[in-house]
């Protein structure tokens, strides 16, 4: 599981995936949501701008294996 360090109270899902290098732009998250491959804390996510806080885990269910990212506080 890769850790995504933030220095704010929260981060939006699209910004998180951009920071992780999964997507080049926030808009690229929309097709991933439509495909139903993004889960936050084990629950299918449908909001591109979902606010994530330290402790949250984002899972991408990809054909070649799951990718997991945990939000951690860098403060």
Predicted local confidence at residue 75, as pLDDT:
65
| Single pTM value for the model | 0.93
**CB hemisphere CA count around 46 (13 angstroms):** 0
Q: Which residue segments constitute the domains of the chain, with CATH numbers given? A: 2-73 (3.10.290.10)
| 57: helix, strand or coil | strand
pLDDT confidence of residue 74? 85
Task: For the chain of 75 residues, list the mean pLDDT of each consecutive stretch of 10.
Answer: 94 95 92 96 96 97 94 88
């Amino acid at each position: 599981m890769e850790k995504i360090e933030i220095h704010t109270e929260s981060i939006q899902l699209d910004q998180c995936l951009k920071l992780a290098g999964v997507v080049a732009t926030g808009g690229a998250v929309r097709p991933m949501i439509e495909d139903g491959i993004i889960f936050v804390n084990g629950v299918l996510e449908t909001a591109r701008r979902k606010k994530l806080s330290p402790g949250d885990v984002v899972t991408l269910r990809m054909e070649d294996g799951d990718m997991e990212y945990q939000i951690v506080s860098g403060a």
